[in-house]
Structure 1
Amino acid sequence: MSDFIEGLKKGAKAIKESFGPSRYEVANIKVICPHCKNDIFEDGSAQLNTAGATFLNLDWLNKSATILICTNCGLIQWFMESPEKI
């Protein structure tokens, strides 16, 4: 029974760590802020709007990019390939 409880604790810890700021890599290269050299980021997404799609009210057809926001200085880096948490 204690193995089960320990497993639940480890699972809860892993879930907690999967949210919030983290370290990332893209194309097997660790992402580091070029401004302050921090390596911990919040992630998000941003839509890459085009004038034609916006004019026709078809913004949902545009691609999205993943953004990483430095937790130290706030610099935003954009990525077309989704960064992987490490």
Structure 2
Amino acid sequence: MENPATVIIADKQLRCLHCGHDQFFKSLRRLTTAEFDVLDLVFPHQTAETYVCSHCGRVEWFIPPVRDGMTGSTEGDFDCLECGGIIPNGQKACPACGWTYVP
């Protein structure tokens, strides 16, 4: 397991809401279809970044922000959840790393 680290999300340092600690373990988690429904996701994100507080164990979940109903940089394009590249509209896999949002 990696060492815990300071995390910056949307230009703000992450702090545990329970204990105030600022060191977290990072991992990626697959979301299930039921979680899509609960989170009312427009785009079927298959993974979320999770950060576990190294002091108390509280888990924080983050998915890419939705912009104009999509996650992409331009209309119809998507941000790759694996490498951060752009998946052009109509393609099912990232041209940079091969990651796919289709199960």
Shorter-normalised TM-score: what interval? 0.5 to 0.7
TM superposition shift of 1:40: 0.2
Aligned to 2:90: none
**Alignment partner of 1:42 is 2:22:** no
Q: What's the offset of the Cα at 1:62?
A: 5.5
Report the TM-score when normalising by structure 2: 0.49
Matched-pair identity in %: 29
Q: Report the number of matched residues.
A: 55
- The answer to which structure, 1 or 2, has the higher relative contact order (CA under 8 A, 6+ apart) is 1
Specify the code of the residue in structure 1 equivalent to 2:16: C
Q: Which has the higher helix share?
A: 1
* Runs (5+) with no aligned partner, structure 2: 35-43, 65-80, 82-103
Q: TM-score, normalised by structure 1?
A: 0.58
Q: Is residue 23–residue 31 contact of structure 1 (8 Å, CA) maintained in 2?
A: yes
Larger Rg: 1
Tell me the distance in 2 between the aligned counterparts of 1:49 and 1:20. Answer: 28
| Structure 1 runs not aligned, ≥5 long | 1-18, 52-60
